Every structure is written in C-alpha cells, then in structure tokens.
Amino acid sequence: MSAAESQIADRLNHLFEHIHPPGKPYTNAHVAGQVGVSEQYISMLRRGRRSKPDLDLLKRIARFFGVPEGFLAGTMSGEDAAKTEEEIKVLAAMRDARVRAIALRAVGLPPAVQDSVSEIITRFRQQMGLPPDPGDPTGERRESP
C-alpha cells in the first residue's frame, strides 16, 4: 500500500471509528448510500486499495462526516488538521450521555466557576492515574487558549 493509499484509508477509518451516532457505528453500505458510490468502493478506500477518489467524492464523504475535505485529502495545514482532530475528539466524547450532561450543565456558569469544575475533574483524573487531558495520551498538561 502506498503512502497516499494509507493516508486516505487511515483518515477514513478514523472518521468511521469516531464520528457516528451513539452506540451505532456507520457501515460501509450506509456511507456508500449517502455519498453515491458502491459499498465495495468504500471498502476499497478503507483498506487502501483505492487512493485517488475524485475530488467530488472526497467532498461528499467529508460533508457526510462533517469535516473539511482537506482533512480527508491530507491537504490541510498541520494547525488546521490538529483543530479538526480536536473537534473529532469532542464529537466522540459527546456521544457519552454522562459527558454530555456534565458539559451542558457547565453552560452559563461564570468562567471562574467553569475553571473550578475543570480543576476538580483534573484532580479526579490524576487520582485515577489518567492524563489531565483525555486527548493527550502522553499525560502532558496543555495550557488553555
């Protein structure tokens, strides 16, 4: 498998893994039906057997998953790709009803209170041996923007 085949396959599989309704990942058949190609073609893209889908198909797949087409094509800047990846992580986390409830309860609280809640969660994560930021497997603390 070439690098281009691997990149598209990796990104597409990543989207299948992380962007879907709660408890029900999308199938190749479902996505194929939504973007107007065969299930086999989606399967070939995911396995790296096809690496050069036409731009229109990339746009349709990106639109289906709600990501910029450049994410799939690998043409985004590193900073933009990182932002998109962060958005994918948030969407995946928000499938969990408990996480969603915690986030929604924080809406409208003053920033200082939101910071306090965040610090409490960070302390619980530390006590459980988890990294402060669930999106950072290295455990390195990142500064807020």
Average pLDDT along the chain, 145 residues, taken 10 residues at a time:
67 89 88 96 92 87 90 83 84 78 90 92 89 61 42
Rounded Cα distance between 79 and 56, Å, is: 24
Amino acid letter, 42: I
* C-alpha span between 98 and 116 (Å, rounded): 19
> What pLDDT sits at residue 141?
44
Beta carbons of 132 and 119 less than 8 angstroms apart:
no
- pLDDT for residue 3: 54
CATH of domain 3-93: 1.10.260.40
Q: Check residue 92 and give its pLDDT.
A: 76
What does the pLDDT read at residue 144?
Answer: 41
